[in-house]
A and B are shown apart, each in its own frame.
Chain A
Amino acid sequence: MTETIVKLADLVKPAAVAAPFVLSDEERHEIEHELSHYPDSRAASIEALKIVQKHRGWVSDEAIPVIAAAINISAADLEGVATFYNLIFRRPVGRHVIKVCDSISCHLTGYEELRDGLIEHLGVRLGGTTPDNRFTLLPICCLGACDRGATLMIDDDLHGPVEPAQIKALLEAYP
């Protein structure tokens, strides 16, 4: 069976440089816009995390207290939210994130072959990032495109059905 387990030690490695984290004006502006959508600022926590991630690729530990202050909740509360949702990345990811659907309809239409093909082509396990920092490979639950299984998303783009033989050509579009 394919190794899917991420080692704990990998998860707790400290970030390389601990420069003080500052929100950019653009990030601040976008977070303030989200705050206007809710009567309670806490409700903007997921959007705020997503905004920072959009600009930086992931959400570092240093970012948490700063984002929490911007939406006026405790850092501990925001940390709890940031660790709950799988689309919030707490470690750096590659330039492109591949999310391969591992749910039942894709299981029935070739998920395991597709996953193994990706692992072989990229040389990383699920959860891993290629050494050139180009791709991160993640499993994802049903992408709501089951009629096109086996499916995957690369960044914001949905693809399906994808056969293992098509992987090489498909990935070439993501330099």
Chain B
Amino acid sequence: MSLRSAADPHYQRPLTRLIDRAAGPLDLPGFEAENGYSSLKKSVREYTPQQIQAIVKDANLRGRGGAGFPAGVKWSLVPMGPDAGEKYLVCNADEMEPGTFKDRLLMEQAPHQLIEAMILVGYAIQATRGYIFLRGEYIVAADRLNKALAEARAAGYVGKNVLGSEWSFELFVHTGAGRYICGEETALINSLEGRRANPRAKPPFPQIAGLWGRPTVVNNVETLMNVPHIVLNGADWFKGLSQGKSKDAGTKMYGCSGRANKTGTWELPIGTTARELLEVHAGGMRDGKKLKAWLPGGASTDFLLPEHLDLAMDFDTIAKAGSRMGTGLIAVVAEDQSMVSAVRNLEEFFARESCGWCTPCRDGLPWSVKILRAFEAGQGQAEDLDVLAKLTKWLGPGKTFCAHAPGAMEPLQSALKYFRHEFEAGLAKPAKAA
């Protein structure tokens, strides 16, 4: 029986079901034996690009790169038709959001799934070329993706007249040279063009004018890898994967890092609670310590508290609690760890990784670091608590050129909200009267 069919009860984990870390990734014959590339074949032979877009829209596949934008809606803005000319599909495989380690696993262990997904989505938007923008440190992933790509090219899945159709598609792996900001999709496009990775103004959105001024779709690794399964099994199957835990559809690569017993990443129904992630899959906090706070999905999400653990990890539920699901891999802070020090670490990261293009971010982030270091050293000034609060506004949404600085303010503002006492404990002691 084929594992890759809707009828198979084990087919609840489309992204990871073929992953066997001990055995390593499947080569092309192995992948094809598991029905690999059958979704691409079905797409090219039986569906028009518009039909695939409609299926994915109906499936409600939301972007897994952090923002949750519906993929089908994003693609529907791409100009179609015989005169549309050069168009590009870019896979965002920059994975540099601190606390996030899901795309690495997917690419290292299932490279052919990403290659199939890229070609299929390329077909759906009638792209002429695709690039996988991979961060420079992912050496193993680069090697395995290039190997898989060469196999796919030799088999006629990539190149001129894909599977004998009218449509041709070239695909390349592009490796980066560092800088977190490359993950922001317009900075990524600049970087791919061989420029400094400063973001671009939006609009125009990349779907209209992106890479080399041409219509471009940028999607995250995990987002793309869902698509072949959706096309093969249908929108209703995909919606059912969440098992009623959420009105979002599909599974999600969740994970847990920090001082927990069994840190790792797991594919689970979207809407699984953070408590299940921490207590069941991660085996609870290490050394019997209590949980103090947690980041739901990366450095640029607001801290939540133990009382929020029973919330469904989906885009809308976590947003209602005042944070963001982000990438969905939680990072846990133990009771004996300092929030001031954690936030100082986070803001040092954001300050260093600012691209320097706009003043509030370039100058505001180092300012916050300076203040946080003072509080950590017990030299905080009372007025600076207000400055920190003001910075969260001055660097907030709409005040800067891209979402880097507003993202940086999320852990800071939530730490100030929930743990003000820890900051106050870092105030300089008044000098003793002589």
Q: Does A13 contact B (CB under 8 A)?
A: no
Expressed in whole angstroms, the Cα–Cα distance for A59 and B186 within the complex equals: 27
Q: Does A175 contact B (CB under 8 A)?
A: no
Interface residues of A in 28-80 (CB under 8 A from B): 37-40, 42-47, 49-50, 71, 73, 77, 80
Residues of chain B with a CB closer than 8 A to A102's CB: 345, 348-349
Expressed in whole angstroms, the Cα–Cα distance for A75 and B101 within the complex equals: 37
B172 CB to closest chain A CB, in angstroms?
5
B244 CB to closest chain A CB, in angstroms?
28
Contact of B258 among A1, A87, A105, A141 (CB under 8 A): A105
- Complex interface: stretch among A16-24, A129-137, A148-156, A165-173: A148-156
Contact of A104 among B99, B135, B176 (CB under 8 A): B99
Contact of B136 among A40, A73, A87, A149 (CB under 8 A): A87
Interface string of A75-92 (1 = CB under 8 A from B): 001001100111110000
Interface string of B338-373 (1 = CB under 8 A from A): 000110011011001100000000000000000001
Q: Does A107 contact B (CB under 8 A)?
A: yes
CB nearest to A53 among chain B residues = B177
Expressed in whole angstroms, the Cα–Cα distance for A49 and B179 within the complex equals: 15
Q: Does B148 contact A (CB under 8 A)?
A: no
| B95 and A141 within 8 A (CB) | no
| B175 and A47 within 8 A (CB) | yes
Q: Does B226 contact A (CB under 8 A)?
A: no
Expressed in whole angstroms, the Cα–Cα distance for A77 and B299 within the complex equals: 32
B355 CB to closest chain A CB, in angstroms?
8
Expressed in whole angstroms, the Cα–Cα distance for A140 and B341 within the complex equals: 18
Residues of chain B with a CB closer than 8 A to A73's CB: 194
Interface string of A95-111 (1 = CB under 8 A from B): 00001001111011101
| B258 and A42 within 8 A (CB) | no
| B135 and A144 within 8 A (CB) | yes
Residues of chain A with a CB closer than 8 A to B195's CB: 42, 77, 80-81
Residues of chain A with a CB closer than 8 A to B258's CB: 105, 108-109, 149
Known: A39-B212, A147-B255. A1 touches B373 (CB 8 A): yes
B332 CB to closest chain A CB, in angstroms?
8
CB nearest to A155 among chain B residues = B139
Expressed in whole angstroms, the Cα–Cα distance for A25 and B95 within the complex equals: 34
Residues of chain B with a CB closer than 8 A to A39's CB: 86, 212
CB nearest to B258 among chain A residues = A108
Interface residues of B in 45-88 (CB under 8 A from A): 86
Known: A103-B345, A146-B331. A156 touches B139 (CB 8 A): yes
Q: Does B144 contact A (CB under 8 A)?
A: no
B301 CB to closest chain A CB, in angstroms?
11
| B137 and A85 within 8 A (CB) | no
Expressed in whole angstroms, the Cα–Cα distance for A108 and B179 within the complex equals: 22
Interface residues of B in 220-274 (CB under 8 A from A): 255-259, 263-265
Q: Does A142 contact B (CB under 8 A)?
A: yes
A105 CB to closest chain B CB, in angstroms?
4
Residues of chain A with a CB closer than 8 A to B179's CB: 84-86
Expressed in whole angstroms, the Cα–Cα distance for A87 and B333 within the complex equals: 30
Q: Does A143 contact B (CB under 8 A)?
A: yes
Q: Does B138 contact A (CB under 8 A)?
A: yes
Expressed in whole angstroms, the Cα–Cα distance for A163 and B176 within the complex equals: 29
CB nearest to A139 among chain B residues = B352
Expressed in whole angstroms, the Cα–Cα distance for A39 and B138 within the complex equals: 25
Q: Does B5 contact A (CB under 8 A)?
A: no
Residues of chain A with a CB closer than 8 A to B99's CB: 103-105, 142, 146
Q: Does A119 contact B (CB under 8 A)?
A: no
Q: Does B180 contact A (CB under 8 A)?
A: yes
Nearest 8 CB-CB pairings of A with B? A103-B98, A146-B257, A85-B177, A147-B263, A45-B194, A105-B257, A87-B178, A86-B178
Can you list 9 contacts pairing A with B, beta carbon distance less than 8 Å?
A38-B194, A102-B345, A102-B349, A107-B345, A141-B98, A141-B180, A142-B97, A142-B100, A144-B104
With A42-B194, A105-B331, A147-B256 already in contact, 12 other A-B pairs whose C-beta atoms are closer than 8 Å: A40-B212, A46-B176, A81-B195, A103-B345, A108-B258, A141-B180, A144-B96, A144-B103, A144-B138, A145-B104, A147-B264, A156-B139
Contact residues of B with A, CB < 8 Å? 86, 95-101, 103-104, 135-139, 172, 174-180, 191-197, 212, 255-259, 263-265, 295, 299, 329, 331-334, 337, 341-342, 345-346, 348-349, 352-353, 373, 377
Contact residues of A with B, CB < 8 Å? 1, 37-40, 42-47, 49-50, 71, 73, 77, 80-81, 84-88, 99, 102-105, 107-109, 111, 140-149, 153, 156
